[in-house]
Structure 1
Amino acid sequence: MGVRSCPSLPGPSKDLTDRYFLPYLLPNDETENDRLDVLHEMCLQVLHRKLYLGPIKSPQRVINLATGTGIWAIDFSDKHPQAEVIGCDLSLIQPTLVPPNVNFLVDDIESEWTYERDTFDFIHARFLAVSIRDFSKLIKQCYLFVKPGGWVEFQDWDGHPVSEDGSLNGTALQRYYDEVFDAFETAGCEVRPGIKLEEWFRGAGFVNIHVENFLVSYGVWPKNKHLKKVGAWCQSQAEANGYEGFALAALTRYRNWTRKEVMLLASVARADGRRHDIHSLFNL
């Protein structure tokens, strides 16, 4: 999260039908939409019901990048009725009945932006891992289009799980992430953006940069009540077709796995995820 040192809302950057997209390797269906909404609730649990951490006060123009189902943008617009909120995504999957101050656009955030410079008070993005090819370029664009004194906040993963006691080592769950992330990296996707965000923000010119790290447990094994609740939501989103959906395209297209092999890996990884003796953690 960083602040930039010190007209009308525009539409999409380009006619998307004229663009060539590198393949999007995650699902885009109702099951995935449900998973994204579960992920939203998990994030609210992690942040103790906060939608964002930036010290914004009375934002007038806000953009939510890769808005997905639009749930964050809708919640934000409810809390800030004075703000004009844009949610942009490659797919128009958001609901049609929304607050009057939110507008959803089909747009590719990795293309050149044609919004007015210095137009947004707050730019928010969340969970872009494996979906963005060039985070550095994207964050530089955020710098150009946020107002001087405005804030940009990214929330993202170090996608590789860890275990402080070594209980993840050698498990099917570890193999799942090793295999899948190797395929994503072959496809040119960034799987560990969280640990690089500070570097990218500084390179873009932001000042007053704040980095916060949150542990997200997988499953209900922690004794800590907060981590246990977060872990339950994390497990829920992964089991909502997350294992198969996350792995299928990447492994079949970039590692020549068969569908049956992917489904088997997903099945044994899911079983490991339910074990209380494997203490998996993610850094958000």
Structure 2
Amino acid sequence: MLGAIGDWPRLTAQAYNAIKPGGYFEILEPAAHIISDDGSLPADSSLAIWNNLFVTAASKFGRSVVEAPLYKDYLRDAGFINIHEEVFKLPNSPWPKNKLLKEAGGYQMVNFLEALEGLSLRMFQAAYNMSVDEIHVLLAKVRSDIKNKSIHTYYNLHRYVAQKPHSINLE
């Protein structure tokens, strides 16, 4: 759903109203800030530049792609209870030594590479007046960075499970 929802508090309120008492609502969403714990992502790398352009362009269109850490508050404000939050590291390529994370990173890399042009073209043209050729040059460099196993990046993937109360206390 990354960037598809313009008003997450409204969506969570609508979900609350649609769910039967006692029912559950689950959200699994990344925060689109690319992170590197070991300094392997230089601030002037094409991937870091692309990420900053992407996050800023999305906000120019009224879409936050980094709002996932706030969803717990939105769920609580909508009336959900028993809110459980987990945050996972989702590697952007198969760089981790851990077998499960390496596999997840391989799948995420394919996903990232397939989505990159669609995520960038229209937004970068409109937000920054970049030409298609300029964007394609940047994306070629971003693809190279993503495939570089010495660059250790990931997204924080947020998972929330929340329950609608069985009954509403009117006291």
- Runs of 4+ aligned structure 1 residues displaced above 2 Å come to none
Q: Per the alignment, in what secondary structure is the counterpart of residue 164 of structure 1?
A: coil
Pick the aligned partner of 1:251 from 116, 124, 138.
124
Partner of 2:139: 266
Partner of 2:107: 233
Pick the aligned partner of 1:196 from 70, 88, 94.
70
Partner of 1:83: none
Alignment of 1:118-197 (within 5 A): 128-170=1-43, 171-197=45-71
TM-score (norm 1): 0.54
What amino acid maps onto 1:245 in structure 2?
G
Partner of 2:169: none
Structure 1 portions without partners, runs of 5+ = 1-127
C-alpha distance in structure 2 between counterparts of 1:261 and 1:200, whole Å: 38
Partner of 1:220: 94
Q: Per the alignment, in what secondary structure is the counterpart of residue 247 of structure 1?
A: helix
How far apart are residue 196 of structure 1 and its match? 1.1
Asked if 2 retains the 8 angstrom alpha-carbon contact of 1:156 and 1:193, the reply is: no
Asked if 1 retains the 8 angstrom alpha-carbon contact of 2:55 and 2:66, the reply is: no
Give the share of equivalent positions with the same residue, in percent. Answer: 31
CA-to-partner distance for each residue in 1:106-164, whole Å, 9 max, x for gaps? xxxxxxxxxxxxxxxxxxxxxx1211110100100111110110001111011111000
What amino acid maps onto 1:254 in structure 2?
A
What amino acid maps onto 2:32 in structure 1?
G
Q: Per the alignment, in what secondary structure is the counterpart of residue 211 of structure 1?
A: strand
Aligned length: 156
CA-to-partner distance for each residue in 1:150-184, whole Å, 9 max, x for gaps? 00111101111100011113211111110121111
How far apart are residue 233 of structure 1 and its match? 0.2
How far apart are residue 245 of structure 1 and its match? 1.1
C-alpha distance in structure 2 between counterparts of 1:257 and 1:269, whole Å: 16
> CA RMSD for the aligned pairs?
0.9
How far apart are residue 279 of structure 1 and its match? 0.3
C-alpha distance in structure 1 between counterparts of 2:155 and 2:97, whole Å: 17
C-alpha distance in structure 1 between counterparts of 2:16 and 2:49, whole Å: 38
C-alpha distance in structure 1 between counterparts of 2:2 and 2:74, whole Å: 14
Q: Per the alignment, in what secondary structure is the counterpart of residue 140 of structure 1?
A: helix
Q: Per the alignment, in what secondary structure is the counterpart of residue 168 of structure 1?
A: coil
C-alpha distance in structure 2 between counterparts of 1:172 and 1:259, whole Å: 16
Highest RCO, 1 vs 2 (Cα 8 Å, sep ≥ 6): 2
CA-to-partner distance for each residue in 1:27-76, whole Å, 9 max, x for gaps? xxxxxxxxxxxxxxxxxxxxxxxxxxxxxxxxxxxxxxxxxxxxxxxxxx
Structure 2 portions without partners, runs of 5+ = 158-171
Partner of 2:81: 207
C-alpha distance in structure 1 between counterparts of 2:22 and 2:121, whole Å: 43
What amino acid maps onto 1:259 in structure 2?
V
Asked if 2 retains the 8 angstrom alpha-carbon contact of 1:129 and 1:193, the reply is: no
Q: Per the alignment, in what secondary structure is the counterpart of residue 195 of structure 1?
A: helix
Which has the larger share of helix?
2
C-alpha distance in structure 2 between counterparts of 1:169 and 1:134, whole Å: 33
